[in-house]
């Protein structure tokens, strides 16, 4: 197009009377080269070629004496002002054909002046960009639009400059259909897709305010963004009302009536509102409420931020081999000698600070990192005690016992090292003991290598004495909640005495946890406990 402009400028930039080439020559040269028209000084068509008529869906006669601006979707006064100043105008314009179709043309308006320096004619040249423009539009729509519901998607929300630049308070609401997987499993994915479309249309009819935009996120999640702050009580009433209305609504699809409920999270403020509405949604989900409005006083945001940071520390510790076993001594009360150690997990961050399990273990158990932590601790503990005459114990959770990778790792090490007779696995009384079959299979496997089994924190909750026999338990570790005040509390002494007597009848050794003073040690010794563990005996240390 620019080459055409230069050519016409060189040919017709001088007065018409001085040209040494006839009009027919240049008309013939460009008649079949593209969309072409000749306009008078007021931009009315005085000549059009075949391509111009075809693209405008008009006849030759109908295309004449029409102002070019009347064919455009948007009138651009700039074009006329530009050519009057002896400058060519170039750009893309939307034209409307005679039957109402929109087409996109890349246009050039080239002015021709006469001998008196007056605008004589304007040459109009264009190429059709409609297919390319629509293709780009479709690609853009696919990026920023949910293909199923045709609602704008999450990416559109994140990239919309009018939203990103907001400096005033807004309201975000997240909607998640409860148990939508059940609908898919029962009726099929195509049926589920139709329900998602119905829910989208229903939410559009129940929008918060006229200043609210509705979005469709991934899966069965929808979001509303209201460009204003709503009075808190009004917002709560809306959340309560819409959660009730959706349950009362009957969604009909292919002759089936589907009941739907939602969990809703909302937040208001200036920044991070989508994240805060997600926190409110999780809070509603956890507390089994239909909706929740983010409470700034709850400090949930700080909690989630800390969880993210801890997850990064865990990942870093695995990658850099910063999982460290600490060992707490266990004393034989009768001899006063240290005969065993409990191996406890610690991890180190990049600053060298040692993190205790209470700072990371719960988060690790909710991630895929936990098996790697367990295997690392077990492997390093075995390395340490393979050259020590002492027995040592390692805590195992039900997650460890049911994880095939972890159990395979344990059995391979037991086979390879022969350390079984010196090893004790501690199982939490409250975690997985009820899942008897899986636990029993694991116990039988490790006991075949000489490993002993201890029940940890016994007495902290439900104590199943019968199950101790079935699981072939070798040690009972009496929970610290019973031991720490045993020198002052008669009830704790009675309960502990009952556990000790029962264990002796079954030939099971007992270990008192949380022995933190000489007075406590004396009491558990009087009650006949076999072993003592606690800060009075020794704190966890990196070395044995």
CA–CA gap between residue 96 and residue 75 (Å, rounded): 12
Is the CB of residue 328 less than 8 Å from the CB of residue 540?
A: yes
Residue 498: how many CA atoms within 13 Å on its side-chain side?
11
Give 368's pLDDT tier (boundaries 50, 70, 90): confident
Q: For 5-30, what is the mean pLDDT? A: 50
How wide is the angle at C-alpha 73 spanned by C-alphas 68 and 77, nearest 5°? 60
Give 162's pLDDT tier (boundaries 50, 70, 90): low
Residue 192 and residue 113 share a domain: no
List C-alpha distances in Å: 339 to 170, 334, 336, 388, 389.
Answer: 64, 11, 9, 11, 9
Residue 98 and residue 183 share a domain: no
* 519 domain residue, yes or no: yes
Residue 507 and residue 411 share a domain: yes
Q: For 489-509, what is the mean pLDDT? A: 93
Does residue 302 or residue 265 have the better pLDDT? 265
Residue 432 and residue 324 share a domain: yes
Does residue 389 or residue 484 have the better pLDDT? 484
Whether 30 has a pLDDT exceeding 80, the answer reads: no
Q: Closest Cα to residue 280, out of 261, 260, 300, 297?
A: 300
Query: Structurally, how many domains does the chain consist of?
Result: 3
Q: What is the CATH number of the domain that holds 470?
A: 3.20.20.450
Residue 258 and residue 177 share a domain: yes
List pLDDT tens digits, range 59-115. 999 999 999 999 998 877 888 888 888 899 988 899 999 999 999 999 999 999 988
* 454 domain residue, yes or no: yes
Does residue 260 or residue 18 have the better pLDDT? 260
Does residue 539 or residue 465 have the better pLDDT? 539
Give 31's pLDDT tier (boundaries 50, 70, 90): low
- From 114, 134, 154, give the residue that closes a domain: 134
Whether 11 has a pLDDT exceeding 50, the answer reads: no
Whether 339 has a pLDDT exceeding 50, the answer reads: yes
Residue 412 and residue 522 share a domain: yes
Whether 13 has a pLDDT exceeding 60, the answer reads: no
Residue 123 and residue 236 share a domain: no
Residue 119 and residue 149 share a domain: no
**What is the pLDDT of the chain when averaged over all its residues?**
87
Whether 300 has a pLDDT exceeding 70, the answer reads: no
* 218 domain residue, yes or no: yes
Q: For 348-367, what is the mean pLDDT? A: 89
Q: For 487-492, what is the mean pLDDT? A: 92
* 543 domain residue, yes or no: no
List pLDDT tens digits, range 247-292. 999 899 988 899 999 999 999 988 788 888 998 999 999 889 999 9
How are beta strands 119-128 and 256-258 bridged, if at all?
unpaired
pLDDT of residue 101: 92
How are beta strands 452-458 and 35-40 bridged, if at all?
unpaired
* 48 domain residue, yes or no: yes
Whether 432 has a pLDDT exceeding 60, the answer reads: no
Question: Which sign does the torsion angle of CA 454, 457, 458, 464 carry?
Answer: negative
Question: Which sign does the torsion angle of CA 140, 141, 147, 153 carry?
Answer: positive
Q: What is the CATH number of the domain that holds 214?
A: 3.30.70.270
Whether 28 has a pLDDT exceeding 70, the answer reads: no
Task: Domain of residue 105: give its range.
Answer: 2-134
* 270 domain residue, yes or no: yes
Secondary structure of 332-389 in HEC code, one letter for each residue? ECCCCCEEEEEEEEEEECCCCCEECHHHHHHHHHCCCCHHHHHHHHHHHHHHHHCCCC
pLDDT of residue 2: 46
List pLDDT tens digits, range 219-231. 899 999 998 889 9
Residue 514 and residue 432 share a domain: yes
How are beta strands 262-269 and 291-293 bridged, if at all?
parallel
- From 104, 134, 164, give the residue that closes a domain: 134
Q: What is the number of other CB atoms lying within 10 angstroms of the CB of residue 365?
A: 15
* 520 domain residue, yes or no: yes
How wide is the angle at C-alpha 112 spanned by C-alphas 111 and 114, nearest 5°? 145
Q: For 302-320, what is the mean pLDDT? A: 85
Residue 396 and residue 275 share a domain: no
- From 252, 272, 298, give the residue that closes a domain: 298
pLDDT of residue 164: 58
pLDDT of residue 319: 92
Q: What is the CATH number of the domain that holds 75?
A: 3.30.450.20
Residue 344 and residue 284 share a domain: no
* 283 domain residue, yes or no: yes
> How long is the chain?
544
Q: For 369-396, what is the mean pLDDT? A: 93
List C-alpha distances in Å: 271 to 267, 301, 350.
Answer: 10, 12, 31
Residue 430 and residue 352 share a domain: yes
């Amino acid at each position: 197009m620019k080459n055409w402009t230069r050519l016409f400028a060189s040919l017709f930039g001088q007065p018409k009377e001085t040209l040494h080439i006839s009009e027919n020559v240049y008309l013939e040269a460009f008649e079949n080269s593209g969309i072409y028209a000749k306009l008078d000084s007021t931009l009315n068509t005085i000549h059009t070629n075949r391509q111009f008529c075809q693209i405008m869906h008009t006849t030759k006669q109908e295309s004449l004496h029409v102002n070019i601006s009347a064919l455009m979707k948007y009138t651009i006064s700039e074009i006329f002002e530009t050519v009057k100043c002896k400058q060519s105008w170039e750009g893309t314009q939307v034209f409307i054909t005679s039957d109402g179709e929109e087409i996109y043309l890349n246009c050039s308006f080239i002015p021709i002046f006469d001998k008196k320096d007056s605008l004589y004619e304007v040459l109009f040249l264009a190429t059709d960009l409609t297919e390319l423009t629509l293709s780009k539009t479709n690609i853009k729509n696919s990026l920023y639009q949910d293909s199923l519901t045709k609602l704008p998607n999450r990416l559109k929300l994140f990239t919309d400059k009018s939203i990103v630049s907001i400096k005033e308070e807004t309201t975000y609401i997240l909607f998640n259909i409860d148990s939508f997987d059940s609908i898919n499993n029962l009726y099929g994915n195509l049926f589920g897709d139709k329900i998602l479309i119905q829910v989208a249309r229903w939410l559009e009819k129940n929008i918060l305010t006229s200043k609210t935009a509705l979005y469709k996120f991934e899966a069965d999640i929808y979001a509303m963004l209201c460009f204003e702050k709503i009075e808190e009580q009004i917002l709560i009433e809306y959340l309560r009302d819409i959660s009730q209305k959706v349950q009362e609504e009957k969604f009909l699809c292919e002759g089936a009536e589907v009941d739907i409920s939602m969990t809703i999270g909302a937040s208001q403020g200036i920044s991070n509102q989508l994240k805060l509405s997600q926190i409110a949604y999780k809070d509603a989900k956890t507390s089994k409420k239909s909706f929740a409005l983010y409470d700034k006083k709850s400090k949930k945001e700080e909690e989630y931020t800390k969880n993210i940071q801890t997850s990064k520390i865990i990942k870093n510790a695995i990658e850099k081999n910063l999982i460290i076993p600490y060992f707490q001594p266990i004393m034989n009360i009768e001899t006063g000698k240290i005969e065993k150690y409990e191996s406890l997990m610690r991890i180190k961050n990049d600053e060298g600070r040692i993190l205790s399990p209470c700072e990371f273990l719960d988060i690790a158990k909710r991630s895929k990192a936990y098996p790697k932590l367990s295997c690392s601790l077990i492997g390093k503990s075995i390395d340490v005690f393979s050259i020590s005459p002492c027995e040592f114990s390692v805590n195992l959770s039900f997650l460890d016992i049911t994880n095939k990778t972890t159990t395979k790792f344990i059995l391979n090490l037991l086979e390879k090292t022969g350390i079984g007779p010196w090893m004790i696995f501690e199982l939490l009384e409250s975690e997985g003991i009820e899942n008897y079959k899986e636990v029993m299979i694991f116990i039988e496997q490790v006991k075949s290598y000489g490993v002993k089994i201890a029940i940890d924190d016994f007495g902290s909750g439900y104590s199943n004495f019968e199950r101790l026999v079935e699981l072939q338990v070798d040690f009972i570790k009496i929970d610290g909640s019973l031991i720490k005040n045993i020198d002052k509390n008669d009830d704790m002494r009675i309960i502990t005495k009952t556990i000790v007597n029962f264990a002796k009848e079954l030939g099971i050794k007992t270990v008192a946890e949380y022995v933190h003073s000489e007075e406590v040690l004396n009491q558990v010794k009087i009650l006949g406990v076999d072993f003592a563990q606690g800060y009075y005996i020794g704190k966890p240390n990196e070395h044995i």
